[in-house]
Chains A and B, each alone.
Chain A
Amino acid sequence: GQNIDQPTEMTATEGAIVQINCTYQTSGFNGLFWYQQHAGEAPTFLSYNVLDGLEEKGRFSSFLSRSKGYSYLLLKELQMKDSASYLCAVRGNNRLAFGKGNQVVVIP
């Protein structure tokens, strides 16, 4: 099976940088996704990592270490609209499993 662990909630100030961690255990790893989910809405795709290292996409970056079963999502220049849950999803043996998500609250 797959096991995904994310911290539950964090608060950060507008303009700051926040790092959201995800650790996972899976067999047949073939990719890790980050999704953003606003309250009451569907998840939307942010990033995909399959090789070790950092993928940068505007204000959002995602890092993967396959040997450590670890990923993080970095959000820079936080904006109020970034208040949302950030879900880590791991594909193993072509099965995708989601974590519970990390709720980020951005305050002025």
Chain B
Amino acid sequence: DAMVIQNPRYQVTQFGKPVTLSCSQTLNHNVMYWYQQKSSQAPKLLFHYYDKDFNNEADTPDNFQSRRPNTSFCFLDIRSPGLGDAAMYLCATSRGTSGGDEQYFGPGTRLTVT
């Protein structure tokens, strides 16, 4: 029944140690997004894929990368996590990027950096 799945739900990594978060979807949506959300703040869009086209936000640090090997899966790679990267990472999908194309969110992965 789950539509947008994120694994793991909780991830602990060490300062500077690369980490990968994963997202999969059963909705067959064209667009997949990665957001970073810190406590009491708005979700901040890092990047999105429209099919295979990658769209990076201008202020997303180079430390954050993404891969989408197929329609169903999308990964967020953090090359050298810093303490400031501790946050909830939300994956979302949508049919398109216009009008009423609502986004469906996964449950999120809470990242802790030690």
Q: Given the known A-B contacts A30-B99, A94-B98, are A100 and B41 also in contact in the complex, defined by CB atoms under 8 Å?
A: yes
Q: Which residues of B contact A33 (CB under 8 A)?
A: 102-103
Chain A interface residue count: which class?
A: 20 to 34
Instruction: Count A-B contacts at CB 8 Å.
Output: 50
| B102 touches which of A8, A42, A45 (Cβ 8 Å) | A45
Contact A50 B100 (CB under 8 A): yes
A106 interface hit (Cβ, 8 Å): no
B49 interface hit (Cβ, 8 Å): no
Chain B contact residues, CB within 8 Å of chain A? 4, 40-43, 45, 88, 90, 97-100, 102-108, 110
Chain A contact residues, CB within 8 Å of chain B? 4, 8, 30-31, 33, 40-45, 48, 50, 87, 91, 94, 96-101, 103
